[in-house]
Amino acid sequence: MLAAMSRPPAVTAADPEVARSIDSDVLAPPRAGGTAVRPERLLSLDVLRGLTIAFMILVNNQPGPDAFHPLNHAEWNGFTPTDLVFPTFLLLVGVSLVLSTASRLARGVARGTLLLHMLRRSVVLILFGWVVNTFPFQHLGSIRFYGVLPRIGLCYFVAGALCLLLPGWRGKAAVAVACLLGYWALMRFVPVPGFGVPTHDVVINHPDGNLTAWLDRALFASQHLYQRVRDPEGLLSTLPAIATTLFGVLTGQWLRTTHTPQRKALGAAVAGIVLAAAGLLWNPYFPINKKLWTSSFALFAGGLSLLLLALSIWLVDVLRVGRHGVTRADRPERPTVWAPLLVFGTNSIAAYMISELLPGALELIRTRGGNLLRSFYAALHTALPAHGVAALLFGLTFVLLTWLLVLPLYRQRIFLRV
C-alpha cells in the first residue's frame, strides 16, 4: 500500500527513504572500491520523469480520433511521440532501481531482504493496476488483469532480481539481448494456431494472427483483454519490455561511475543513437510496433529515451539551467524553474494513480449531457470546433487537475512510496 513519509528535515528530495522508491533516486559517486557514498542528487532524473508523467496524463486523456495525430498511439506498425511515453518511464525505472539498490546495499541491507522487498513492491503495483482497471464499478468477471502498473511491477521485479544476481553489466546486457532475440524468434518461427507460420502464411505482425495475441486469448476470455482480441500489455510482450528496463539498469550503472557529468551525458547520447539506429535497421524485418512491443520498438524507443535522458542531464546537471545552489543531502537547493515538473517527478506513481482514478470519479457526477466529463468536452468542442484543439485542452485540464492534487504533497515534502 502507499505509505506517506513523514516530513523530513530540511534537506532535498534526496532523502534516504525516498531513495528506496522507484519515484526518487540518489546518485552517489562511487568510492575507489566501487561502493556508493553520501549522495549528490541527479535532478535531471526527476525532471525527465516529471515530464514523462505529464505527457502520459495528457495523451491518456485524449478523446480518441478527435486528438491531434502525435497525441495518439500508432494504430499498428509505426511510431508517434505518444509511443515514447511508456518505454521512457520503464527506462527510468531501471535507472532508479540501480541507484536505490546500490544505496541500500551500501548501508548493509541483505540481498535476500532486498529481493523480498522488490517482490512486495511488484505485487503491490500489480494490485494497484487492478484497482485502476476496476474503478469505479467494473465487474470482477470482466476485470483486465494486464495494464501499465502490472507491467511495471513485473519488469521492476525481474530487473531488480537481475541487479542482485548479476552485479556486472555483461550479464544484464546478455539477458536484454536474449529477451529481444528470443521474442523475435518466437514471433517469427512459432506457428500460430489457426493462422500458420509468420512471414510464410501471415505477416509477422498480423494484428490477430501473432503469437502474443494468440497467447493472451488462450489465457483470458475476450472481456479481460483491452482490445478484446489482444492486449498491448500482454504476457509475451513483457519480454522485450524487460529489455527496455534493463537498458535503464545499464544506464544507471553508467551514471554511478566516476566519469564527469559531461561524459555521462555524452555516453548516454551515443548509446541512444546506437539503439535507435539498430531499431530502424530491424524495422523492415520486425516492424516497430508499440502494441506488440516488438524488439525493434524496444531498441528504437529505448534509444530515443536515452537521448532524452542525455539532454536532461546536460541541461539540468551540467549547464544547471534555471538552478541555484547545490543539491546535497545537507544543503537544499533553492526553487528552480523545474519545480513544476518535480511535482510529478518525485511522486510519479501517486500522480499516475490519481490521473487514472480522476476521470472515473468525475464520470459519477451526472449532468444533463450525461456526466460531467462528457458535458465538459462537448462544451469545449462547441467553443473550439477545429480538429484537435478541444481534445488538447481536455487533456491539459487533466494534467492541471492532477498537478494541483499532487502539489500539496510536494509542498509538504511528503513523498508517497510503494
Cα–Cα distance, 397 to 60 (Å, whole number) = 12
Cα–Cα distance, 299 to 281 (Å, whole number) = 10
* 324 confidence band (pLDDT: 50, 70, 90): low
* 164 confidence band (pLDDT: 50, 70, 90): very high
Does 250 score more than 90 pLDDT?
A: yes
Q: Are the CB atoms for 48 and 96 separated by under 8 Å? A: no
Instruction: Give 129-148 pLDDT, tens digit per residue.
Output: 999 988 877 777 788 999 99
Instruction: Give 335-389 pLDDT, tens digit per residue.
Output: 578 999 999 999 999 999 999 999 888 888 887 767 888 888 888 988 988 889 9
Of 113-127, 289-303, 365-379, the range with the lowest mean pLDDT is 365-379
Query: Average pLDDT over the chain, rounded to whole?
Result: 86
Cα–Cα distance, 55 to 145 (Å, whole number) = 24
Q: How far is CA 294 from CA 93, 213, 267, in A?
A: 20, 13, 25
Cα–Cα distance, 64 to 339 (Å, whole number) = 31
* Residue whose C-alpha cell reads 541487479 in the numeric block: 163
Amino acid letter for position 7: R
Helix (H), strand (E), coil (C) string for 120-185: HHHHHHHHHHHHHHHCCCCCHHHCCCCCHHHHHHHHHHHHHHHHHHCCCHHHHHHHHHHHHHHHHH
Residue 31, pLDDT score: 42
Does 26 score more than 60 pLDDT?
A: no
Q: What would the mean pLDDT of 267-288 be, rounded to a whole number? A: 98
Q: What would the mean pLDDT of 141-165 be, rounded to a whole number? A: 93
Helix (H), strand (E), coil (C) string for 362-409: HHCCEECCEEHHHHHHHHHHHHCCCCCHHHHHHHHHHHHHHHHHHHHH
Cα–Cα distance, 347 to 24 (Å, whole number) = 8
Omega into 385 within 30° of 0, i.e. cis?
Answer: no
* 89 confidence band (pLDDT: 50, 70, 90): very high
Grid cell at residue 338: 523545474
Grid cell at residue 36: 556508493
Does 333 score more than 90 pLDDT?
A: no
Q: Are the CB atoms for 380 and 317 separated by under 8 Å? A: no
Residue 381, pLDDT score: 86
* Residue whose C-alpha cell reads 465538459 in the numeric block: 376
Binning the chain into helix, strand and coil, the percentages to the nearest 5 are 60, 5, 35
Instruction: Give 223-234 pLDDT, tens digit per residue.
Output: 889 888 999 999
Q: Are the CB atoms for 242 and 180 separated by under 8 Å? A: no
Cα–Cα distance, 260 to 237 (Å, whole number) = 36
Cα–Cα distance, 231 to 126 (Å, whole number) = 16
Neighbouring-strand partners of residue 202:
198
Q: What would the mean pLDDT of 4-20 be, rounded to a whole number? A: 33
Q: Cβ contacts of residue 387 below 8 Å, gap of 6+?
A: 66, 68
Residue 325, pLDDT score: 55
Closest CA to 342 of 400, 403, 399, 396: 403
Q: What would the mean pLDDT of 30-59 be, rounded to a whole number? A: 73
Q: How far is CA 102 from CA 157, 159, 254, 355, in A?
A: 16, 14, 13, 31
11-20, 61-70, 245-254 — which one is most confidently predicted on average? 245-254
Residues in the chain, overall count? 418
* Residue whose C-alpha cell reads 534526496 in the numeric block: 14
Q: At what angle do helices 169-189 and 238-255 cross, to 10 degrees?
A: 160
18-22, 81-85, 363-367 — which one is most confidently predicted on average? 81-85
Q: What would the mean pLDDT of 103-116 be, rounded to a whole number? A: 92
Residue 335, pLDDT score: 55
Q: Which helix (H) or strand (E) holds 92?
A: helix 85-106
Cα–Cα distance, 152 to 102 (Å, whole number) = 20
Helix (H), strand (E), coil (C) string for 358-372: HHHHHHCCEECCEEH
Of 59-68, 258-267, 305-314, 361-370, the range with the lowest mean pLDDT is 361-370
Instruction: Give 36-50 pLDDT, tens digit per residue.
Output: 333 446 789 999 999
Of 18-22, 54-58, 273-277, 383-387, the range with the lowest mean pLDDT is 18-22
Q: φ and ψ at 362, to 5 degrees? A: -70, -30
SS3 192: strand
Cα–Cα distance, 5 to 23 (Å, whole number) = 13
Amino acid letter for position 298: A
* Residue whose C-alpha cell reads 512471414 in the numeric block: 199
SS3 227: coil
Does 66 score more than 90 pLDDT?
A: no
Q: Cβ contacts of residue 309 below 8 Å, gap of 6+?
A: 44, 45, 48, 91, 92, 95, 251, 268, 272
Q: What would the mean pLDDT of 233-237 be, rounded to a whole number? A: 95
Does 77 score more than 80 pLDDT?
A: yes
Q: At what angle do helices 85-106 and 148-165 cross, to 10 degrees?
A: 40
Grid cell at residue 375: 458535458
More confident residue, 16 or 347: 347
Q: Are the CB atoms for 234 and 213 separated by under 8 Å? A: yes
More confident residue, 324 or 317: 317
Q: What would the mean pLDDT of 206-221 be, rounded to a whole number? A: 94
